[in-house]
Amino acid sequence: MKNIKYLFLSILGVVLLFTSCQEDDISFGDITAPKNVTITAEIVGQDTDNPYGDGTGFVNFVATADDEISYKFDFGDGTSEVAPNGTVTHRYTSVGVNPFTVVVSAIGTGGTMSSTALEIELYSSFTDPEAETFLSGANVGDSKTWYWAANVALHVGLGPVDEDYGNGEFAYEAWWNAIQPFDEEKSCMYTNEFVFTKTADGLTFEQTVGPAFVPGTYADILGVATGDTCYDETVIPSMFGVKDVSFFPSSSMAALEGTYNDQPYRQSSFSISDGGFMGWYVGSVEYDIISISETEMQVRFIQEGGGYAWYAKFQTQNPFEVDDFPTLTWSDEFDTNGAPDSANWTYDLGAGGWGNQEVQTYTDNAENVSVQDGVLKITAKADGSGGYTSTRLKSQGLQEFTYGRVEIRAKLPSSQGTWPALWMLGANFSDVGWPACGEIDIMEQTGDNKTNILGTCHWFDSGTNAGASYGEITEVADSTSEFHVYSLEWTEESLRIFVDGTAYYTLTNSEDLPFYDKDFFFIMNIAMGGTLGGTIDPAFTEDSMEVDYIRVYQ
């Protein structure tokens, strides 16, 4: 609606520019206020049996005037709209029979206005008390604060408004569905806080912490030079302040005909008065509730002007305080000297290259593996005859897990040609083999660059009928002299790999991958040479990887 105002100002600006060129004539012409302003209202469904309408809350307004350019309607419920032709339909959402004073202002030349008012009384029957309670609480005076669900994948998405293409794309994030937790570009908005409060008259809304994110698709419409970034209230003045929340039945194609994850929409919508919005600014919008509970809400809303349908996830837990894995399920602190605990660990033994042209022979000898002074030590050694020994420790058949946060505190070897790894294999390895079982490399260190740390996942891709992998590299300058915590956060939505709490790797999980709802076991080893170990230092004698602990939280 602001486009009309801008058009009027632009026309006025042209007049000013034109007249400024006339040295002897600086008049604007006649400034005439509109006259004979009238307004009529048709309450939808009103008849003898339904004197206040059919309960939908719709009213059709028609305004007329002489010498007008446009019209502004103030509907008496805290909302307003500009209508150049004087015709507009508005939905009232206050439940019950309620009176409203509607004021229409006819706008004339020079910004002059003439107004008239109309009293109406109508009935609105729609209510969603459960959704209201979820948003704010059950009792008058209750409040609830909502946040972006920034800690989960796909907390923002984009799709078409009504294009189907045969697959229902209009009801889910068909165009953009790849955002990962704590996306760097969107990080400016993750501090947002949205407070819903139950009052005797309904719900109120207040954004208490800014700013607002403006996507690139709306930057030109808003009139800012840069999109896909945040702006404060000097650019979006409607961001703050207490506003009213109105509920009404959904009318979008997505809500009425579509599904999301094979589930129907709730078919309830809400809007926020006075230009209010929830963090993602694309003009005045109505929020279709896809789903809602006491702690989570997913909504769909259409960008002003149409063409783009946005999706957003919110939650009542501050995303920076979320602990998705609060319970320590299992750990080995390596507190007992001697061999590793046989309740947790067994061994791969022998030589054979292990698929990577490695040259070591794995043993369970104490010289290659032991627990001493609270630390597990795996040691690779030259055997004096041109060969090497080491240990490959595994929890297969003993400790296996699906999902959780894994933390391993370790210090890595420094010798050229050593290839240490902290990793996981699918527990169905014996049945389906590699890579069909899946592999999660929480930490691998290269043999020739001891500051390079790799996080990688491997699997079998049925589409190409071949092995597939995705990996990332980060740098840890003192990996061989200091202990660092190498972590994995693994859910049905994603796999994220960290060093000292900083994520550098994310893979979206799905039912098509072996990491979805499958048990995995741990492997810790040092290989020598091979595809990642590379050339071994000719003077190598021995080197160790030390592990302070391994912990699984779920």
Q: What is the pLDDT of residues 460-494, one digit of tens each?
A: 998 899 999 999 999 999 999 999 999 999 999 99
Q: How confident is the model at residue 24 (pLDDT cuts 50, 70, 90)?
A: very low
Residue 439: CA atoms inside 13 Å, Cβ hemisphere, count? Answer: 22
| Nearest residue to 533 (alpha-carbon basis) of 447, 452, 473 | 447
pLDDT band at 355 (very low <50, low <70, confident <90, very high): confident
Average pLDDT over residues 179-195: 93
The arithmetic mean of pLDDT across residues 391-419, rounded, is 97
| Torsion 322-472-389-537 (CA) sign | negative
Share of the chain above pLDDT 70, in %: 95
What pLDDT sits at residue 6?
31
pLDDT tier at 77 (50, 70, 90 boundaries)?
confident
pLDDT tops 70 at residue 347: yes
pLDDT confidence band for 166 (50 / 70 / 90)? confident
Residue 23 has pLDDT above 70, yes or no: no
Residue 194 has pLDDT above 90, yes or no: yes
CA–CA distance, 322 with 306 (Å, rounded to integer): 35
Average pLDDT of the residues in 348-377: 95
Contact residues for 312 (Cβ-Cβ < 8 A; gap 6+): 148, 155, 156, 157, 278, 279, 280, 298, 299, 301
- From the list 407, 439, 489, 546, the catalytic residue is 439
Rounded mean pLDDT of 134-151?
94
Residues 217, 222, 223, 228, CA torsion sign: negative
Average pLDDT over residues 331-338: 96
Q: Give residue 18's pLDDT.
A: 36
What pLDDT score does 285 carry? 83
92 pLDDT higher than 90:
no
Report the DSSP beta bridge partners of residue 209.
193
Q: Is the per-residue pLDDT at 342 higher than 80?
A: yes
Catalytic (active site) residue 184: no
Residue 260 pLDDT > 60, yes or no? yes
Question: Which band of pLDDT confidence, cut at 50, 70 and 90, is reported for residue 29?
Answer: low
Cα four-point dihedral sign 253, 259, 263, 269: negative
- For range 43-54, the mean pLDDT: 93
Q: Which of 93-102, 133-142, 294-303 has the lowest mean pLDDT?
A: 93-102
- 257 among known catalytic residues: no
Q: Is the pLDDT of residue 279 over 90?
A: yes
Q: Which of 444, 472, 492, 542 is catalytic?
A: 444
pTM: 0.52
What does the H/E/C string look like for 129-193?
HHHHHHHHCCCCCCEEEEEECCCCCCCEEEECCCCCCCCCHHHCCCCECCCCCCCCCCHHHCCCE
Asked if pLDDT for residue 17 goes beyond 70, the answer is no
